[in-house]
Amino acid sequence: MPTLKDIRVRIKGIKSTQQVTKAMKMVAAAKLRRAQERAIMARPYAGKLKEMLGSLSAKVDTSLNPLLSSRQDVKKVLVILIAADRGLCGAFNTNIIKLAQKVATEDYAAQYKNGGVSLICAGSRGFDFFRKRGFTIVKGYPSVFQNLDFSVAKEIAETASGMYLRGEADKVIVVYNEFKSVLAPVLKAEDLLPIAAENAGKENSGDYIYEPSPAAIIDELVPKHLSTQIWRMMLESNAAEQAARMTAMDSATENAKELLRTLNISYNRARQAAITKELSEIVAGADALKN
* Catalytically active residues, by annotation: 89
* pLDDT value of position 71: 83
Helix axes 124-132, 92-102, angle to 10 degrees: 50
CB distance 248 to 88 below 8 Å = yes
Asked whether the predicted pLDDT for residue 204 surpasses 60, the reply is no
* pLDDT value of position 291: 65
* Residues found in the chain: 291
Computed over every residue of the chain, the mean pLDDT equals 87
CB distance 209 to 193 below 8 Å = no
Helix axes 214-290, 92-102, angle to 10 degrees: 130
pLDDT tens digits, 30-88: 999 999 999 999 999 998 888 888 777 766 777 778 888 888 888 999 999 999 999 89
What is the reported pTM?
0.84
pLDDT tens digits, 93-139: 999 999 999 999 999 999 999 999 999 999 999 999 999 998 999 99
- 272 pLDDT band (50/70/90 cuts)? confident
All residues at 6 or more sequence positions from 148 whose CB lies less than 8 Å from its CB, including other chains: 234, 235, 238
Neighbours of 93 (CB within 10 A): 24
Cα dihedral sign, 190-192-197-200: positive
pLDDT tens digits, 161-201: 999 999 999 999 999 999 988 877 789 999 998 887 644 44
SS (H, E, C) the chain: CCCHHHHHHHHHHHHHHHHHHHHHHHHHHHHHHHHHHHHHHHHHHHHHHHHHHHHHHCCCCHHHCHHHCCCCCCCCEEEEEECCCCCCCCCHHHHHHHHHHHHHHHHCHHHHHCCCEEEEEECHHHHHHHHHCCCEEEEEECCHHHHCCHHHHHHHHHHHHHHHHCCCCCEEEEEEEECCCCCCCEEEEEEEECCCHHHHCCCCCCCCCCCCCHHHHHHHHHHHHHHHHHHHHHHHHHHHHHHHHHHHHHHHHHHHHHHHHHHHHHHHHHHHHHHHHHHHHHHHHHHHHHC
**Residue range 207-215: mean pLDDT, rounded:** 72
Question: What distance in Å separates the CA atoms of residue 278 and residue 271, rounded to the nearest whole number?
Answer: 11
Domains and CATH numbers, the chain: 4-20+249-290 (1.10.287.80), 28-248 (3.40.1380.10)
Neighbours of 168 (CB within 10 A): 15
- 205 pLDDT band (50/70/90 cuts)? very low
Question: What distance in Å separates the CA atoms of residue 79 and residue 120, rounded to the nearest whole number?
Answer: 6
Tell me, rounded to whole angstroms, the distance of Cα 18 from its chain centroid: 25
* pLDDT value of position 68: 83
* pLDDT value of position 202: 47
